[in-house]
Structure 1
């Protein structure tokens, strides 16, 4: 995951987490990166300082953003079913009433996610890779 410092055209600063630089570019081009304060989709990367680890630390510092992401991951995993690559089909079936409604998370290609949004299916991207995909 890559954390970018972002700034909207109104001058609001905020952070965003993306799987890769290409994922940021694709997501922004699709209009899915918006300012957390005003909602503007005119967002650019702002100047960032690199994270440099100290030579020796007795205890690793806890980054508040990373802690929040871990808490979000635990909440999602504890309260929803992982449906993997069947996410788009499952979400659509629930929206259309063909399947019982429940909380799910999984994976969808960008085009599948776009179609869900166009159809009015309530979905949102998660800022982390599912554990089932990590080694």
Structure 2
């Protein structure tokens, strides 16, 4: 069995389990995989973070600590604009809002549109828990 993070053409993320990658490819091509949120059959594999280290490994613990430190630094040095992120990023780019570091939420389509408009954004991934 193989686990994939999947995304529909509307930007909804969900998980799926398949016998192998060929099974996923065949089912996706035949439209036999549907988004549980919108029933879209335009499905592709989403970016997945590989499992690299075990938490009991000293190097892994050190890396997790550094990731948490970096994440905390980003959070403390940015303003959370929440769901207004796409609009606020555009306003800053256009000079209609004060230039500052912001963070917030955007759908896949909103993030893609910002990048296509030449507005530089970076995802802030969640932190791994100690059980991963």
TM range (shorter): 0.5 to 0.7
Indicate the structure (1 or 2) with the bigger Cα radius of gyration: 2
Pick closer, same or farther for the CA change 1:88–1:97 going to 2, 3 Å.
same
Secondary structure of 2:46's aligned partner: helix
Counterpart selection for 2:87 from 79, 86, 89:
89
Contact 2:78–2:101 (CA under 8 A) maintained in structure 1 = yes
Q: Which residue pairs with 2:74 in the alignment? A: 76
Q: Which residue pairs with 2:109 in the alignment? A: 111
Q: How does 1:1-135 map to 2 (within 5 A)?
A: 21-22=5-6, 25-27=45-47, 51=54, 63-128=61-126
In the superposition, the TM-score normalised over structure 1's length comes to 0.53
Secondary structure of 1:127's aligned partner: coil
Please report how far the alpha carbon of residue 64 of structure 1 lies from its aligned counterpart in structure 2 after TM superposition: 2.6
Would you say how many aligned residue pairs link Structure 1 and Structure 2? Answer: 87
| C-alpha RMSD over aligned residues | 3.2
Please report how far the alpha carbon of residue 67 of structure 1 lies from its aligned counterpart in structure 2 after TM superposition: 1.2
Secondary structure of 2:114's aligned partner: helix
2-structure distance, mates of 1:26, 1:114: 14
In the superposition, the TM-score normalised over structure 2's length comes to 0.54
The CA deviation string for residues 48-102 of structure 1, in whole angstroms up to 9 with x for no partner, is 678487xxxxxx9661332122111111111110111111111111011111100
Pick closer, same or farther for the CA change 1:69–1:49 going to 2, 3 Å.
closer
- Structure 2: which 5+ residue stretches go unaligned? 7-12, 16-44, 128-132
**Structure 1 runs (4+) greater than 4 angstroms displaced:** 48-53
